[in-house]
Copies of this chain bind each other. A is one copy, B any other.
Amino acid sequence: MVKELDEKSEPLPDHVGWRLWQASRAWQTEFAAAMRAAGHAWFSEARAGLLGHIPRNGTRQSALIERAATSKQAVQQLLDGLEAEGVLERLPDPRDGRGKLVRYTSKGLDALRDGDRIKLEIERGYIDRIGERRFAALMEALRALDAGRGDEPEKATHSRDETAESK
């Protein structure tokens, strides 16, 4: 068999960006597989990214667009798909004739519940793998990183209040 030349000599990346990307993809793959296995065949990563910005009590489509870091057209297309799947529904905003309110259907809420459960299972697996201490350090670093983004210092409120759920 071939042997010489480039058999070894392949130092794969080991910087923050790469590690974050790999870890993120691994999580998403695991989560999506579990969601589909739980019967939510409509689930996809892009859709999950959007749903993460929709609180359980719904939101206005325009507010959603502000939070998701994409164009309004991208958001709309994802919403179209989710609405067609029966996960969400759009209602006219009674206070603004132009606006629409987005909210979950019972099917959507079911999916959120399953998602919460799966999320906790994956998290437990992570803790088993690397230990509670490291896991806590990971979360703390990620939160600190996020808190220190664009907007001012805002050193407060990175407390770990009861915001433990949502999805």
Contact = CB atoms under 8 A, between A and B. Distances in A.
A44 interface: no
Contact of A23 (B14, B29, B145): B145
Given A2-B95, A123-B16, A137-B138, A24 B26 contact: no
Main secondary structure of the interface of A (DSSP, over half): helix
Chain A contact patch, size range: 35 or more
5 contacts: A15-B166, A22-B146, A26-B146, A126-B145, A135-B141
Interface of A: 2, 5-6, 9-29, 31, 49, 52-53, 55, 57-60, 67, 69, 95-96, 119, 122-123, 126, 129-130, 134-135, 137-146, 148-149, 160, 163-167
